[in-house]
Amino acid sequence: MDHRKELFSIILGTNEIASAIAVQLARGGNCAVLSYDPDPPVIRRKMAFHDALFAGSAQIEDVVGERVDDVMQVLKAVRGNCSRRGQVLVSWLGLLDLLPICQIDVLIDARLQKRRITPDLRRLAPWTIGLGPGFSATSNCHVAVETRPARIGLVEGDGWTDAADGIASRLGDLGAERFVYSSFAGHWRTPVEIGTPVYKDLVLGHLSGLPVLASRDGVLRGIVRNGSDVHAGVKLLEIDPRGRLAQWTGIDSRGSAIATATLAAIRRGTAELVGPDKSHRKNCHHAHAAQRDGS
């Protein structure tokens, strides 16, 4: 990617993978908006921009994500300082709200939804990238990115990303055992902060009044935000068993590798999307004028 040519990207998801990609784009002087999606709930919140939706801003390493609540705020940011190094935008607005705001260059689906039918993104933007299960360049995106830890990278030809198999990746010596899942749909309450050392059977929260216990000793790496409503069978929390090597902030090695692969996917198809005249910015200006004039 030629960093002299600014790209406007929409990233679906506010999780740690979407955030790692946004960090890399922001460092390159490009504008990215993260669009919230409730499924699945974000648990690694200190590694993501998700909490900016509630606190107004969140920081990952050297990059700040700032909440934008409506169309006019997004327009102002895109036309102004969105491309300033060290900043991304985070919004409750969905894709259908964001698409009319400005001609986008890249649409990235980073929601990692393992059980849903993935939509065909190709008609929504000049260049579309699908991450995780359910994507193929011949079916629903321009480039598919495999996110399974041992195989992270671009899917070539007419291949598909690996289907979800229910097997959790390893962290230290643990797989799925490091997670605690919701056994039923309910309202989640917790007073425990991410980064807290925990021990087996410690009560970490309550799901509709019933206690939820730590599955083992370690450091709390992620937990669903207090006050959330959750579906049955979703991850409520994650415990990092690696002792002094535990990580619950910043970008981890998997997030970094997926972000690098996603940037390679962007480079593959966007060289011609943003010319020196930055015509897509003109379209943003026209959209802003239409919004302002009520036309």
How far is the C-alpha of 145 from the C-alpha of 266, rounded, in Å? 11
Sign of CA dihedral 183, 185, 190, 194: positive
100-137, pLDDT tens digit by residue?
Answer: 887 889 999 999 987 777 789 999 999 999 999 999 99
Q: Name which of 28, 129, 8, 4 is nearest 74 in CA terms.
A: 8
Q: Name which of 14, 94, 111 is nearest 54 in CA terms.
A: 14
How far is the C-alpha of 45 from the C-alpha of 52, rounded, in Å? 10
CATH number belonging to domain 176-241: 2.40.50.100
HSE, side-chain direction, 13 A CA sphere, residue 179: 18
Omega before residue 40 within 30° of 0, cis: yes
How far is the C-alpha of 166 from the C-alpha of 170, rounded, in Å? 13
Q: Which residues pair with 174 in a beta bridge?
A: 171
Instruction: Identify the pLDDT of residue 283.
Output: 55
Q: pLDDT digit of tens for each residue in the chain (295 aa)?
A: 333 357 889 999 999 999 999 999 999 888 899 999 988 899 999 999 999 999 999 999 999 999 999 988 888 887 766 655 557 999 999 999 998 887 889 999 999 987 777 789 999 999 999 999 999 999 999 999 999 988 999 999 889 998 887 788 888 888 889 999 999 999 999 999 999 999 999 999 999 999 999 999 999 999 999 999 999 999 999 999 999 999 999 999 999 999 999 999 999 886 655 554 444 444 554 444 444 444 3
How far is the C-alpha of 20 from the C-alpha of 181, rounded, in Å? 25
CATH number belonging to domain 8-164+252-293: 3.40.50
> Domains of the chain: which residue ranges?
8-164+252-293, 176-241
* 8 A C-beta contact, residue 130 and residue 38: no
Close Cβ partners of 219 (under 8 Å, ≥ 6 residues apart): 195, 196, 197, 198, 239, 240, 246, 248
Q: Name which of 49, 6, 10, 12 is nearest 30 in CA terms.
A: 6
Close Cβ partners of 17 (under 8 Å, ≥ 6 residues apart): 110, 112, 131, 147, 255, 258, 259
162-176, pLDDT tens digit by residue?
Answer: 888 778 888 888 888
Name the average pLDDT for the chain: 87
Q: Which two tokens stand for residue 286?
A: 């026209």
Residue 272: Cβ within 10 Å count: 8
Sign of CA dihedral 199, 202, 207, 211: positive
Say yes or no: do domains 8-164+252-293 and 176-241 share a fold: no
Which spans in the chain are helix H? 16-27, 52-55, 71-79, 95-98, 253-269, 279-293
How far is the C-alpha of 142 from the C-alpha of 121, rounded, in Å? 8
DSSP SS3 for 107: strand
